[in-house]
A and B are shown apart, each in its own frame.
Chain A
Amino acid sequence: MQRRTYFYAALMLTLVTVGFLVVPVVMSVMAGLTKNFFVGLKSGLTLEWVFRVWELYQDTIWRSMGIALACLAITLIAGVPAAYGLALSKSRWARIFEETLILPVAVPGLAIALALIQTYGGFREFRMSWAFILVGHVLYTLPFMVRSVLAVLSSIPLNEYEEAAASLGANKRRRFFDIVVPNAMPGIMAGSLMVVTLSIGEFNLSWMLHTPLTKTLPVGLADSYASMRLEVASAYTLVFFIMIVPLLIAMQKFGQTGTARKPTQH
């Protein structure tokens, strides 16, 4: 009897929580597809606002995709070897290096952005280009790539594989590409999804580092929330959801295998 009551109370709370998270998303999607949100659905459905967003903001969408892919390339080139190095070494210096590497996640984007502006803001070409935003994104996402790959490499007998390969005459280069990379693949995939998702959605750094000519998608979103009618802002949010939800679903799939890591900044 008592347990039934607990069951229904917990079920209610669960449903309310789901509603709290889902209802605004549904409303936002509807608003982006309705002729006049204030009048409601009876004003009719339309793609007008989505087309308007495409017209006004498509450059931000392409730029965000470009930055995310460039960010992925850099975090792969820098992150996978670093994770390999950290998996091999048990020294104290390696642990200190690891701590430093993941430190940018623990510091708010606002602080990192201010630090970058002060140090490199004087280099005008760099400051005005999207590479400035890219630098911020790389710092923020690199820890996720390294941790994701390191988690996989630490769970396999890497040393034995390598010794076997070395005894068969494989050099370091071949061992890296033929042993380490294939074995680390689940971690690399999970890390890559994480990096792209985080980069596309990153706002705190991007807002401080952008210029009027280097707006990213979330920067454009903030812009539209402040200055556009609700329908346009909603349609723009809808475009963002369409980009990010497939990545999130893929991440949930990887999350079930326990390799994906959670983002920590908002």
Chain B
Amino acid sequence: MKHTSHFMGLLLLPAGVLVLAFFALPMVKLIVTGASGEEGLAAYWSILTVERHREALIATLLLSALVTLVALIISTIVGVFLVRNRFPGSQILVSLLTFPLAFPGVVIGFLIIMLAGRQGLIGMVSQTLTGSKLVFAYSMTGLFLGYLYFSIPRVILTVMAAAEKLDVSLEEAARSLGASQWRVITDVLLPALKPGLIASGAICFATSVGAFGTAFTLATNIDVLAMTIYTEFTLGANLASAASLSVVLGLITWAALSIARSLSGSNVAAAG
């Protein structure tokens, strides 16, 4: 079916105008503003040269990497377990594990306060057991739990989708040849899951780096990059600095997501 370019233009016009006017143009403006401060273009290096910014960057990257690692480990075990073992109630467990998928970051922050805050469950339990109240919601540990909370459902979904496509007979073969359960996991199962794990790990990492709502609810004095940008903008009224930092933040998340997309892309092609 031949379509004129005029018709094509008409189809793409509304979306094109929206993205051009409200995304492309403002982003260019943001990049220019980032270089408009006293230091000019050097503002883009401030993330490495200004100590507070550098520390926030390092804290953000470390936290996100740790969250990604732990989320991958937990989700792989739980995801494969739930795909391989069907028992009464297992479908309910799957639903419970995936329903927090669209909870916003602020709400997750509040849920962590419910768990480990001043009036939280862990505090109450530890007070009755040991007499001292354990409160860690408003620290890096709380933030770690919060990021883990929104990462697990997403990674589990990807792992389960990948695990369903696995060929169980390969594992049976390895086992019949005398491989231990551990060898089956490291030599057969994990290599087969690898593309999916890397892709969902990259998404998890990008989401954690860019997350704002959870940190905002838990504490304003935790220095992760998103909070630094927010303070620069609101308290410092330092527009150039906030702009340059958010451009860097955007580049990091975009790069991580590109990795995820290129991997899942090749994955699809290989499967097809």
Contact = CB atoms under 8 A, between A and B. Distances in A.
Main secondary structure of the interface of A (DSSP, over half): helix
A77 B30 contact: no
A110 B215 CA distance: 13
Contacts, number: 254
Contacts of B93: 14-15, 18
A21 B155 CA distance: 14
A17 B152 contact: yes
B78 A222 contact: no
A106 B206 contact: yes
A79 B15 contact: yes
B110 A203 contact: no
A74 B22 CA distance: 14
Contacts of B180: 2
A245 B103 CA distance: 10
Q: How large is the interface on B (under 10, 10 to 19, 20 to 34, 35 or more residues)?
A: 35 or more
B154 interface: yes
Interface string B203-235: 100110111111011000000001001100100
Identify which of B26, B29, B152, B243 gathers the most chain A CB atoms within 10 Å of its CB: B26
B2 to A, nearest CB: 10
A104 B27 CA distance: 10
B11 interface: yes
A169 interface: no
Contact of A115 (B29, B149, B150, B213): B29
B229 to A, nearest CB: 6
A23 interface: yes
Contacts of B113: 225
Nearest to B31: A115
Given A100-B24, A202-B104, A204-B212, A262 B111 contact: no
A266 B150 contact: yes
Contacts of B23: 100, 103-104, 112, 115, 139
A62 to B, nearest CB: 18
Contact of B253 (A38, A81, A108, A163): A108
A233 B33 CA distance: 38
B102 A248 contact: yes
A168 interface: no
Nearest to B117: A230
B183 to A, nearest CB: 12
Identify which of B19, B24, B207, B253 gathers the most chain A CB atoms within 10 Å of its CB: B19
Interface in A118-165: 118-120, 135, 138-139, 142, 146, 159, 162-163
Nearest to B251: A107
B101 interface: yes
B240 to A, nearest CB: 10
A42 interface: no
A14 B239 CA distance: 46
Contact of A2 (B81, B97, B115, B181): B181
A74 B8 CA distance: 19
Contacts of B247: 111
A156 B255 CA distance: 32
Interface of A: 2-3, 6-7, 10-11, 13-15, 17-18, 20-25, 27-28, 31, 37-38, 74, 77-79, 81-82, 84-86, 88-89, 97, 100-101, 103-112, 114-116, 118-120, 135, 138-139, 142, 146, 159, 162-163, 166, 172, 197-198, 201-204, 207, 218, 221-222, 225, 230, 233-234, 237, 240, 244-245, 247-249, 251-252, 255, 262-266
25 contacts: A11-B85, A13-B77, A14-B78, A20-B149, A21-B152, A82-B12, A85-B11, A86-B12, A107-B250, A107-B254, A110-B246, A111-B229, A111-B250, A114-B243, A115-B27, A118-B30, A118-B33, A119-B26, A142-B18, A162-B1, A203-B212, A222-B106, A222-B213, A225-B217, A266-B212
